[in-house]
């Protein structure tokens, strides 16, 4: 499919992802980060947050589920077995915290073919169920060109 | 949001405290479970080498998460990170020995922005390889 046809394409929203205190704790421990704002609601509240907050890269858990629909869209021509994660960026309106019920919507921002490798640029807008914007995640997925037969 | 670093105390060129993170197979197994990314190249040496990798490699997102600790530990409140992005340039290769790999991360303030925000650039290395490119963040300071 041409890039012009792909750009702007959005994918159906998945059911809301509910952020749990223990999931944040598990993620923080996996990255070795004992920041009290991730682990202790009272410490997070002292900083002005309603509950424990999530580390900056925690949103990959639910945004990657959302981008999966684009990566697996047969019309975009991505070969999943040759996929690597090229870039990732998050822009936060506010931190994610325990108790959030978050809805993701993924949009194709660009699709480029460079020497046989396909670069898929996606934006995932993350909002609460009430429509409050929480963050946007920008992902670049690369489907590497097959090696040439020698 | 309550950063412990004041915008007024920071200049272009201010260095953030550097950190070195050990990366062992155990860390990758924990990260796989916590993140839900169970791609076998992050824990199975047989598969990793069969697809041409030197060994098991860390998740790019694990590397991005570790590197972010240089930001969050400097500013105190992780909510002060208002933007954070990286390019995955080289993998962190994690051998199955007692030592594993090391990730060394440094950060420097590259710009002072409006609204008491600063731009920070991170450099992350594992051995001789620069493993993240374009690793940039915007922090909201006090």
Domains of chain A: 3-20+53-143 (3.10.129.10)
Subunit contact A94:B60, Cβ cutoff 8 A: no
Subunit contact A26:B34, Cβ cutoff 8 A: yes
For CA atoms A63, B72, A33, A49, the dihedral sign is negative
SS (H, E, C) A43-111: HHHHCCCCCCECCCCCCHHHHHHHHHHHHCCHHHCCCHHHEEEEEEEEEECCCCECCCEEEEEEEEEEE
Minimum distance, in Å, between the CA of residue A5 and any CA atom of chain B: 26
- Which pLDDT score, from 0 to 100, does residue B1 have? 58
Subunit contact A32:B27, Cβ cutoff 8 A: yes
Whether pLDDT at A93 is above 80? yes
- Which pLDDT score, from 0 to 100, does residue A3 have? 81
User: What is the value of ipTM here, to two decimals?
Assistant: 0.96
Q: Does B89 touch chain A (CB under 8 A)?
A: no
| A chain contacts of residue B35, beta-carbon cutoff 8 Å | 27, 30, 60-61
Question: Splitting chain B (142 residues) into consecutive groups of 10 residues, what average pLDDT does each group show?
Answer: 89 98 97 95 95 95 98 96 98 95 98 98 97 98 96
- Which pLDDT score, from 0 to 100, does residue B2 have? 76
pTM: 0.96
């Amino acid at each position: 499919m041409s890039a012009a046809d792909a750009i702007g394409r959005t994918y159906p929203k998945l059911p809301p992802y509910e952020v749990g205190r223990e999931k944040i704790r598990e993620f923080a421990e996996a990255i070795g980060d004992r920041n009290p704002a991730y682990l202790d609601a009272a410490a997070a509240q002292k900083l002005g947050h309603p509950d424990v907050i999530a580390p900056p890269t925690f949103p990959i858990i639910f945004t990657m589920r959302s981008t999966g629909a684009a990566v697996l869209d047969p019309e975009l021509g991505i070969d999943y077995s040759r996929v690597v994660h090229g870039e990732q960026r998050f822009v936060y309106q506010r931190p994610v915290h325990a108790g959030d019920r978050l809805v993701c919507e993924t949009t194709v921002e660009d699709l480029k073919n460079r020497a046989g490798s396909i670069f898929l640029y996606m934006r995932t807008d993350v909002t609460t169920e009430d429509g409050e914007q929480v963050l946007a995640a920008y992902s670049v997925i690369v489907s590497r060109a097959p090696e040439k037969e020698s | 949001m309550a950063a412990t670093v004041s915008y007024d105390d920071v200049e272009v060129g201010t260095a953030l405290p550097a950190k070195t993170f050990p990366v062992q197979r155990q860390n990758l197994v924990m990260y796989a479970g916590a993140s839900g990314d169970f791609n076998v190249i992050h824990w199975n040496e047989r598969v990793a080498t069969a697809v041409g990798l030197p060994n098991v490699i860390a998740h790019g997102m694990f590397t991005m998460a570790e590197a972010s600790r240089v930001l969050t530990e400097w500013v105190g409140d992780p909510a002060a990170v208002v933007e954070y992005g990286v390019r995955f340039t080289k993998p962190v290769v994690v051998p199955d020995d007692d030592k594993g790999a090391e990730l060394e991360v440094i950060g420097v303030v590259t710009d002072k922005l409006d609204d008491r925000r600063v731009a920070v650039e991170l450099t992350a290395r594992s051995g001789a390889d620069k493993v993240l490119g374009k690793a940039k963040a915007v922090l909201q300071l006090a």
